[in-house]
Structure 1
Amino acid sequence: MVSWSDLCSDALGHIIGFLSLPDLQSFSAVCRNWRWVAKQNNCSPAEQLPWLMMKEDASTKKRKFYSLTEKRHYYIDIPELHNQCWIGSSFGWLFIVDGKFIPRLFNPFTRECYKLPLLPKFEEDMLQERLVKAVLSHDPSKKSDFTVLFLYRINLTKMAVWRPGENRWRCIPCMDHVADAIFFRGNFYLACSSDLFLISDVGSNPTMKLVMPLLLSGIEYLVDFMGELLLVERHLTNLGEWPHHFHVVTKRFAVHKLNLEEKTSSECKDFGDYAIFLGTSCPLVVNSQLFPGCKRNSIYFTDLGIKLYPEVYGCDDIGVYDFPRDAIEPYYPSEIFHPFAEPPIWLTPNINKL
């Protein structure tokens, strides 16, 4: 009789293609042979729904994650994230910075890490406020020739790029207000003030070129939606009275499809079976049919941290926007308080290696 541990690697690799992250971890713990198969790059796990990464547990110092699919928390010990600031994620990689202004790209599930050149120094107590966004051109797990675009603020918004093998950041002149950045169809694009720009010649002499005008009226996100570029506007409202109870939360979203060739935009109200995940991380688009409980034609969002009284409200602007009903619903228990200093972010488990 053949033992389960003796199943051929091809069969085991096929099984892995249907497993979520928790199931894959259990799979790899069965025996040495199964773990070896799970570690092979040619055995790709199933597409993963983004997890919500939250603050450390005060008693255990373990990082807390929330699985939308299972509606449960996971606590994972990740020492590399202790005393680190982060500004979101891209392809499942976190962009983290320590108190010495040393930035890193870090995959919390595989512990892979890229040490990046030093950042310009500014007030340490304002580190979180100065970091704006980091965007990857490609997944470093799959392509070694990738580019990091980093946005930060020192008086005005500044922009820099880095590629593996370089020992410093290359700065790019940009506009005062950069709403968002994205890598789309082989180029970086920026939503700046009232225009969309393309960054050309990233590898040698990065420069900005005007693509088309934009009409911006909220918090903006650039989203790669199945090969089409969307501009998503997040409209806010204040639930309190100025200046004593300034409590800003999301009211609704508006979505525009950008036609780069014709330099036009049109309103979009239907994502079909897809859902978009927005926050400080790079936007994510998933097929809701692959994940039980994931709402179709919706936008899942996390807090922006726009509050004058964070000790009172914390990061409570968390929900899912239902487009057909123009309504916002909770997806996470509202009674759980999120510290303002560590706003929850979306992180897609990147587990090409274990």
Structure 2
Amino acid sequence: MYMISPCFVMCSRDILELICKKLTIPDVAAFSSVCKNWHSATIDKAWIWVPETPWIVDNDPPKLEYRLYNWTHERHFEMIKGVMHNNTLINGSCKGWLIVRSDDQMCIWNLFSKAGYLLPPQHTNEYLRLPPFVFTASTCPHLNPITVVGVSHNQTLVWCSIGDKKWKDYRNCDEDDGPKYANVAFLNDQLYAIRVEGNTIDIFGVDGTQPYLIPLRTVQRATAPTEIPSQYFDLYLVESKGHMLAVTRYCHEDSVRTIPISGTTIGFQILKVEEDMLVNVESLEDQALFVGGLSCESLPSNHCPGHHENHIYFIGEHEDEDHYEWGHFKVDDKSMVKKMLEEPKQNFAPTPIWLLPRYKFNCNC
């Protein structure tokens, strides 16, 4: 067995931190497991910068570990599931955080920093008894502590802050039937929620001292679409370069097999939220989007080795029902390349998701 010299084990913290700054996230994880002294140098990981290329996380509930694929290093890794071990399911990712749920518990967890917080039990809101659960989270200083907002299976909004005992409904009690939503995202301290038809976004304020979300304004599509590739689609919201984008992934109708809709990808459409309308986006400029499962992330392409600007990278259902597809879509000319993931599906597990290797949020408000 290879032994580490005691002089290295007892290095001062400032030297260890200098070493950490040169390591990738997988190496930092290995570094922190050597001894208590080295682990202490990695506790405050917010200063670590590494290529942010999202990892692919295999979403297989029965396993005790998450299987991850790192695109930059072209390697597979396994990580212990952490705060909840048995039969857990990932419901989505948001800027490095996962929503993980079992039969009776939910938590928000950072796979890399190992920080995790239990959320109110599902039974405290009747609409959370069944998946799916689309979610977003914010640690904006104006929303202290962490605020989590989700879309429940009946397409209504629920929300909570860390430490709450139960989930809150977004509506006033006298509203019997409100809008139905498909996805949500924070842009600093405001919540954006896109309605299921994909042409309207409602914007809310969030105040942890209040029982309801605060409606601020509604924006709608400026012009009707000239062509709709399919009546079946997934909807995503993502913050990109200080703007909120609405992303539609169209699915081949013959391949749609699950709810929410997830089928073979045939194209994308992107809208941007302006002050009072939704407008078409023909270019992502230097950004790349990563779409998979119920979530979407936007990153500068120069932070993602091996990936190109103005592209959408996606994971979805393959026409072969035993496998998943992955590919990329070029926004300006709408060209698309798709391949089949080599490893077959396991036990009807949900679609793998993208996970960003981040340790904290950035907020510009």
Query: Smaller-chain TM-score range?
Result: 0.7 to 0.9
1:20 aligns with 2:24: yes
TM-score (norm 1): 0.79
Q: Which runs of 5+ in 1 are unaligned?
A: none
Equivalenced residue count is 331
Offset of residue 113 of structure 1: 2.4
Q: Which residue of 1 aligns with 2:200?
A: 195
Residue 283 of structure 1: SS of its match in structure 2? strand
Q: Which residue of 2 aligns with 1:88?
A: 92
Q: Which runs of 5+ in 2 are unaligned?
A: 1-5, 172-176, 361-365
Q: In 2, distance between residues paired with 1:223 and 1:62?
A: 28
Q: Which residue of 2 aligns with 1:290?
A: 303
2:301, 2:309 within 8 Å by CA — same for their partners in 1?
yes
Q: Which residue of 1 aligns with 2:116?
A: 113
Residue 66 of structure 1: SS of its match in structure 2? strand
Offset of residue 84 of structure 1: 1.5
Q: In 2, distance between residues paired with 1:241 and 1:122?
A: 27
1:265 aligns with 2:265: no
Q: In 2, distance between residues paired with 1:249 and 1:273?
A: 27
Residue 39 of structure 2: SS of its match in structure 1? helix
Offset of residue 14 of structure 1: 3.8
Q: In 2, distance between residues paired with 1:247 and 1:52?
A: 17
Q: What is the identity, as a one-letter code, of the residue corresponding to 2:159?
A: V
Identity between Structure 1 and Structure 2 (%): 21
Residue 271 of structure 2: SS of its match in structure 1? strand
Pick aligned residue for 2:321 from 309, 313, 316: 313
Q: Which residue of 1 aligns with 2:355?
A: 347
Q: Which residue of 2 aligns with 1:39?
A: 43
1:322 aligns with 2:330: yes
Alignment of 1:50-65 (within 5 A): 50-56=54-60, 61-65=64-68
1:89, 1:346 within 8 Å by CA — same for their partners in 2?
yes
Alignment of 1:50-199 (within 5 A): 50-56=54-60, 61-78=64-81, 80-100=84-104, 102-120=105-123, 127-128=130-131, 131-138=132-139, 145-153=145-153, 156-173=154-171, 175-192=178-195, 193=197, 194-199=199-204
Q: In 2, distance between residues paired with 1:38 and 1:50?
A: 21
Offset of residue 200 of structure 1: 2.8
2:95, 2:358 within 8 Å by CA — same for their partners in 1?
yes
Offset of residue 226 of structure 1: 0.9
Q: Which residue of 2 aligns with 1:276?
A: 289
Q: In 2, distance between residues paired with 1:7 and 1:224?
A: 41
Q: Which residue of 1 aligns with 2:363?
A: none
Offset of residue 327 of structure 1: 2.5
Q: In 2, distance between residues paired with 1:86 and 1:7?
A: 38
Offset of residue 313 of structure 1: 0.5
TM-score (norm 2): 0.77
Offset of residue 107 of structure 1: 2.5
Q: In 1, distance between residues paired with 2:71 and 2:95?
A: 18
Q: Which residue of 2 aligns with 1:208?
A: 215
